[in-house]
Structure 1
Amino acid sequence: MEINATYNSLVAVGDSFTEGMSDLRPDGSYRGWADVLADRLAARAPGFRYANLAVRGKLIGQIVEEQVPLAAEMKADVVTLVGGLNDTLRPKVDMVRVKDLLTEAVGHLTPACGQLVLMRSPGRNGPVMERFRPRMEELFTHIDELAARHGALVVDLYEVPALGDPRLWDVDRLHLTADGHRRVAEAVWQTLGLTAEDDWRAPLPAAAGPGWVARRTADARFAKEHLGPWIGRRLTGRSSGDGRPPKRPELLPYETGQETGSAARPAAGSET
C-alpha cells in the first residue's frame, strides 16, 4: 500500500555500501543507491535536501562517533543507517559491543528524524561470505529487534536470491554494480511506501555461465587485486577510508539529475 508522503530531506549514514562504491560516474566519483534515491525523492519535493555522511571502511564505533551525532542534528525527514557489517568481516569481533553500538545509534537517531530506515544488507554466495555468515545473521536479527522496538523500517535485501547473482556484484565481490545499487534504491523507495517503479527482486535473465578457465582466471585476479589487500588491511587495522571526508557532509539542496552517469570498475583494493 502506498503512503502518500512527501519527504523533503534525506541523510544517509554508513560505510562504502552507502557511499556507493563500485557505481562510478565518469568523473571518478561514486554514485550509489543513496544518490539514486535522493534524485527520485527530489523529483517529488522542490527544495529537497540531501546529505551523505557515509565513508568506506568505517566500523560501527566510528559511525556512531563521527556520523550519528551529525545526522541527528540535521533533523531530516528520512535517515538511513547501514552499519556493522564491516565489523562482522574482521578476523575478531565482539558482537555484543557491535550490537550495543547499533542500539545506541538507533536510540539517538529515532527521535531526531521523521523516519529511520535500517537494512539487512545483501550478500553473495562464496567461501569468504560463508565464513562470516553466522555473524551477519546475528547482526540482522538484532536489526529486526531494534526496528520493532523503535518503529524503524527495515529493507530486507538479505533474503532476496536475485541480489546474490554474481552479475550484480563488481569484480571485488564486495560491492554492488550500478544495476545492483539501482535495485537497492528501488527497495528503499518501496519500503518508504512510495509507488513501485520496478521489480527489484526480479531475477536476471538466464545466461550461460563462464567456463572453467574463465572462472579460475577471475578467481586469481580477485585474489591478487582484492582479497589479498583486503586481508592485509584487516590484519593491520588499516582502512581505505582513513582520513577521507564524506562526499556530502552538509544537508544541502539537491538538484535532480546529479546521479546520472555511466558506471565503471573501481580501482583495485577497494573495501566496504
Structure 2
Amino acid sequence: MRVAILAESFLPHMNGVTGSVLQILRHLAAAGHETLVIAPRAGEVDADLHGARTALLRSVPLPTYPQVRVVFARAAHLGGILRAFAPDVVHLASPFVLGWQGAVAADALRIPVVAVYQTDVVAYAQKYGMPHATALVSSHVARLHRRATLTLAPSGASLRQLGDLGVDRLRLWGRGVDADRFAPHRRSTAWRRRIAADDVVVIGYVGRLAPEKQVADLAALRGIPGARLVVVGDGPSRAELEQQLPDAVFTGHLAGGELARALASFDVFVHPGESETFGQTIQEALASGVPVVATGVGGPVDLVRSSIDGWLYRPGDLDDLRARVVDLVGDPAKRLAFGLAARAAVVERSWERTVDALLGHYRHAIALRAIDDGLRSRSDRRPDPGGRAVEPAADWTRYVALGDSLTEGLCDTSRMIDGQHRGWADRLAQLLAHAQDGPFRYANLAVRSRRMQDLVHTQVPAALRLAPDLVSILIGANDLLTPRPDPAALAADVEVAVRQLHEGGCDVLLVTVFLPDRPAARVFAPRFAAFNAHLRRVAERTGARLLDLDAHPEIADPALWADDRVHLRPAGHRFVAYRAADTLGVPDAAALARLDAALHSEEDAPSDPRSWLVRDVLPWLWRRVRGRTAGDGLTAKHADYIVIGDDGVRSDVAAG
C-alpha cells in the first residue's frame, strides 16, 4: 500500500503528532508499505524516517509559539505532489490548515482520506484568549472531518465531541506505546538523587509548557510535605511557570532514553490538562509503572482507571487534585499496587498492533470511497477535458424548485425588470434546458421567509400536483435562526419530503444551507453544520443527489453576498447554479461557470452601512415586532410551469 501522510507538525519540532507519525512510518515500512510525508519545513531533519519520501513545504511560525509552523499550500500544488506519488490513501495527521488543503486535493483526485483527530484546536482557541474564534474553528473542524472519508478519534470523549459537531463516519483508534522503552526497569537512583533526597517523593509532569496544558494548576501541589515537583518539557509558558512554581525542578525538553528514565523515576505522574484528546504521556507513565493523577475529562478518562492505577479528579477542582496527590504521596503501598496495575493495563498496546489496526481503517476507507463514488454514479461518468469525471445529466423535462428567499432569487436582479428576481434555480433551469432536446418546463414555488413546515405542508403537495421529474430543495436557514432549533428534527422533515417526492416519481436535488463569512453569522455556524450533517445522512438513505456547499467554502466569501448581508448577489447565485448543474451532470458546467464569471464580472460597490441599517435591518425588526415576515401575502413567482425552449426562454425568465 502507498500512504501519503500530511502532518500539521513535523521534525525537528517533537510533539505528540510528530511522535505518532514517526511510529507509523516505522511500522508501515516494516510491513512493506511505501510512505510519503508532506509537512512544514522547520529545519534540518536528521532522524530515521524509515525510507519515507518527504515533501517539506515552506512554512511560517506562529507568533506566540514559533516552534509550531503553519503551511499555506494551495490545493493545486498538493494535488501535483499527490498525483506524482499516487497513494492508495491519504492520512491527515491532526489536520487543520494543511490538512484542509490536503483533503480538497485528495478529493479532487478521488483518493480516500483518513483524518486523525489528535488536537482539540477548539479548546486551544479558548485557552489562547480567542473566544470569538471558537465558533469559526468549530465550523472548520466539522467541515474538514466531514469531508474526510473516515475520521479516527483517540477516545470516547473525542468521538462524542466530533459527533456533536455533526461529524459522522467516526472510528475509535488510540495510540500505541513503546513498552520496551517506557518500563519500570528504567528507574534511575542516580537521576532521582540529582532531583531530591532519597526519601522524597517525586511528583512529575511531562508535556508542552503552554496555556492549553494548564500546567499552572500544579501550583496547587506546592508545599506537600516530603514531595518535590519536577516539570519536564518546554514551551512558550516556561518563564512564567518558573515564577509560579519556584520550588519545582524544570528539566527542559527530554526525549528518547532520557525521557524514559525520567518517567520511570517519578513516584506520581500528574496531568492537569482538560483539552486532551488522548494523553500519550499518561500512557507512557502507566507503561513505566507510575500511578497517574489526571483530570476526569477528555482523553484521560479512557486511560486512567480511578482507584486501580491512579485517580481522576474533578475537572477544575484544584483542592481535589491536591487531595488525590497527597493520598498517593503518603501511601507507598498504594503507589506500588497502582503502578503494577498501570503497567499491566497498557503493556499490550504496542505500536505494531496499533498500526495493524490503522491499516484496517485504511482498507475500510478505500472501500467507503468506492461506495461514495458509486452513490454519485461516478463509475458511469465521462471525463471532461480537465480529466475530471462527470455524470451524464438525466433526461429531465420538468423541474420544480422549492425553498425560501435564496431559491426565490432575492437580490439577483441581473437583467431583470424592476421588482423581479432571477436566482440560482432560474439559472439552473436554463442550464438544464440547454442540455436537453426539446422544450423544458420549470416552476419555482419558493417564497421568502418560508420555513420547513411550509415545505412539507404546502410546497411539496403543490409540486406533486405538477408531476415533475426533478425537484430541488434548499430550505432550513430561517428555522435555524430561531432561538432553539432542532437540526435533527428539521432534517427529518426534509427526509419526509424527499420520500414523498420519490414516491411521486421525482428525482431530488438537496442543497446544504450556508452562511456568509461574517462575525455576526459565526454564532450560528454549529447549528448549520449539524443540520448539514443530518442532510448528508438523508441523501445517503434516500438516494437524493446532494449539492454539499460545505465542500465549496468560497460560498462564504462576502463578495458573493448582497448588500443586505443575508442574500446572495448575482455572482453568488451563479456560483450555486453552476455547482448544482455540475452535481446534476450538465456537460461542461465547470467550464461554463468560468466563462460566465468572465462575462459578468460586475463589482457591485457595497452600500453605505447607514443605508443598510435603514433599508434592511429596521424593516426586519419592525416585522418581527408585529409578528410578520417578508413573505406574508406573497405567492410563488412561477406557481405553474413556464417553458424554456431551444430558442431561449419564454415567459419572464431572462435569457443570457
Q: Does 1:247 align with 2:641?
A: no
Which of 614, 628, 631 lines up with 1:224 in the alignment?
614
Deviation at 1:96, TM superposition (A): 4.5
Question: What's the secondary structure of 1:116's corresponding residue?
Answer: strand
Question: What's the secondary structure of 2:523's corresponding residue?
Answer: helix
Q: How does 1:194-233 map to 2 (within 5 A)?
A: 194-198=586-590, 218-233=608-623
Residue 10 of structure 1 is matched in structure 2 by: 399
Q: Does 1:125 align with 2:517?
A: yes
The structure in which a higher percent of residues are strand is: 2
Structure 2 contact 393–584 (Cα < 8 Å) conserved: no
Counterpart amino acid of 1:243?
G
Post-superposition CA distance 1:76-128 (Å, at most 9, x none): 12100111111001234344542332222122112223310001133211132
Question: What's the secondary structure of 1:154's corresponding residue?
Answer: strand
Please report the TM-score for the alignment, with normalisation by the length of structure 1: 0.82
Give the count of matched residue pairs: 252
After the TM superposition, which segments of 4 or more aligned residues of structure 1 sit over 4 Å from their partners? 199-202
Which of 508, 529, 546 lines up with 1:137 in the alignment?
529
Residue 177 of structure 1 is matched in structure 2 by: 569
Structure 1 contact 119–155 (Cα < 8 Å) conserved: yes
Q: How does 1:21-36 map to 2 (within 5 A)?
A: 21-24=410-413, 25-36=416-427
Question: What's the secondary structure of 1:38's corresponding residue?
Answer: helix
Please report the TM-score for the alignment, with normalisation by the length of structure 2: 0.36
Residue 627 of structure 2 is matched in structure 1 by: 237
Q: Does 1:20 align with 2:20?
A: no
**Aligned-pair identity (%):** 35
Query: 1-side partners of 2:493 and 2:634: how far apart?
Result: 22
Q: Does 1:42 align with 2:436?
A: no
> What are structure 1's unaligned runs of at least 5 residues?
206-213, 263-272
Deviation at 1:246, TM superposition (A): 0.2
Query: 2-side partners of 1:253 and 1:224: how far apart?
Result: 39
> What are structure 2's unaligned runs of at least 5 residues?
1-389, 599-604
Structure 1 residues 141 and 226 mapped into 2: Cα distance closer, same or farther (>3 Å)? same
Q: Which has the higher contact order (CA 8 A, sep 6+)?
A: 1
Deviation at 1:261, TM superposition (A): 6.8
Structure 2 contact 487–534 (Cα < 8 Å) conserved: no
Structure 1 residues 141 and 171 mapped into 2: Cα distance closer, same or farther (>3 Å)? same
Residue 479 of structure 2 is matched in structure 1 by: 87
Post-superposition CA distance 1:39-82 (Å, at most 9, x none): 22222231211111000000111121110111123231210011
Deviation at 1:247, TM superposition (A): 0.7
Which of 53, 56, 61 lines up with 2:453 in the alignment?
61
Query: 1-side partners of 2:459 and 2:433: how far apart?
Result: 23
Query: 2-side partners of 1:131 and 1:228: how far apart?
Result: 21
Question: What's the secondary structure of 1:167's corresponding residue?
Answer: helix
Q: Tell which deviates more after alignment, 106-115 or 251-260.
A: 251-260
Structure 1 contact 189–196 (Cα < 8 Å) conserved: no
Counterpart amino acid of 1:143?
L
Query: 2-side partners of 1:121 and 1:113: how far apart?
Result: 25
Structure 1 contact 55–244 (Cα < 8 Å) conserved: yes
Structure 1 residues 229 and 96 mapped into 2: Cα distance closer, same or farther (>3 Å)? farther
Deviation at 1:236, TM superposition (A): 4.5
Post-superposition CA distance 1:201-225 (Å, at most 9, x none): 99x99xxxxxxxx99x844443333
Structure 1 residues 222 and 27 mapped into 2: Cα distance closer, same or farther (>3 Å)? closer
Query: 2-side partners of 1:235 and 1:18: how far apart?
Result: 26
Counterpart amino acid of 2:502?
T
Structure 2 contact 495–542 (Cα < 8 Å) conserved: no
Structure with bigger gyration radius: 2
Query: 1-side partners of 2:543 and 2:560: how far apart?
Result: 31
Question: What's the secondary structure of 2:562's corresponding residue?
Answer: coil
